[in-house]
Structure 1
Amino acid sequence: MILPIEVNLNSSEPIYHQIKHQLRDLIVSGQLPAGTSLPSIRALAQSLSCSVITTRRAYQDLEYEGLIYTRQGRGTFVAEVKTDQSKKYKQEVIEQALNEAIQTAIRLHYPKEELQALFQKLCTEIFPSE
């Protein structure tokens, strides 16, 4: 299985973080349903042109979070994600992104009212039928 994961070698974020966050997004969003077999650590490392240690660390972190599990001799699989766990994660990611946008607006001295109007405009454009 080839996962839609891309690593940015120019990013200040460590590669294992990039892998972990993208895998977590795929799992929590339901794009990788429970029971899905994941590539081996070696296969993923090879497909992303990174070290086995890097992919192992990403898998270990996700296993610690309860998002994946490993069965000796069988492989690594996506775990069942509870609805409340998924909702909490999604909210945290969105809050972090919005917080970064707000901090950027503050640094640029962008008025609060204009930021709110811009947010509303973008929401209307992206979600036109709602």
Structure 2
Amino acid sequence: MKIPIHISEESREPIYHQVETQIKTLIVGGQLPPGTSLPSIRALASDLGCSVITTRRAYQNLEASGFIKTAQGKGTFVNETKNMNIEEAKDKIAYDALEKAIEQGIQVGCTEEEIRTIFREIMKNNFSQ
């Protein structure tokens, strides 16, 4: 199974964290339901063009936080999410993404009001559909 993950070499965020965050987002958003088989560490590394160490670290972090589970000899699967607070996970993912976007806006010289205007425009465009 190929999962829709896109890594950015230009991002200051480490690649393992980009992979981890995108898989969490797919799980929390329901695109990867519990029991879904995930690609092996090697297969994912090959698909993404990154190192096995990078994908291993992402999988280890996801397993430690309860999002995935590995069954020796069977593979890696999306874990049941009954025991985790999905709303808390959604909030954290959205918070982190917005924080990064604001940091980038500040880096390119946007004022607080410009960032607020951009945010309102994006909200309007995404919620008025």
Give the structure-2-normalised TM-score. 0.81
Q: RMSD over aligned Cα, in angstroms?
A: 2.6
Partner of 2:71: 71
Percent pairwise identity: 48
User: Is residue 29–residue 86 contact of structure 1 (8 Å, CA) maintained in 2?
Assistant: no
Q: Which runs of 5 or more structure 1 residues have no equivalent in the other structure?
A: none
1:65-112 deviations in whole A, cap 9, x for unaligned?
A: 00000001000000011386221111122233444555646x633438
1:38-75 deviations in whole A, cap 9, x for unaligned?
A: 01111111111111111111100000000000001000
User: Is residue 63–residue 69 contact of structure 2 (8 Å, CA) maintained in 1?
Assistant: yes
Count, aligned residues: 127
Q: Secondary structure at the match of 1:77?
A: strand
Give the structure-1-normalised TM-score. 0.81
Distance 1:123 1:65, change over 3 A: same
Q: Which has the larger radius of gyration?
A: 1
CA distance in 2 between counterparts of 1:98 and 1:39 reads: 29
After TM superposition, the structure 1 = structure 2 runs for residues 42-61 of structure 1, keeping only pairs within 5 Å, are 42-61=42-61
Q: Secondary structure at the match of 2:70?
A: strand
The one-letter code matched in structure 1 to 2:74 is R
Distance 1:118 1:108, change over 3 A: closer
Give the superposition deviation at 1:26: 0.7
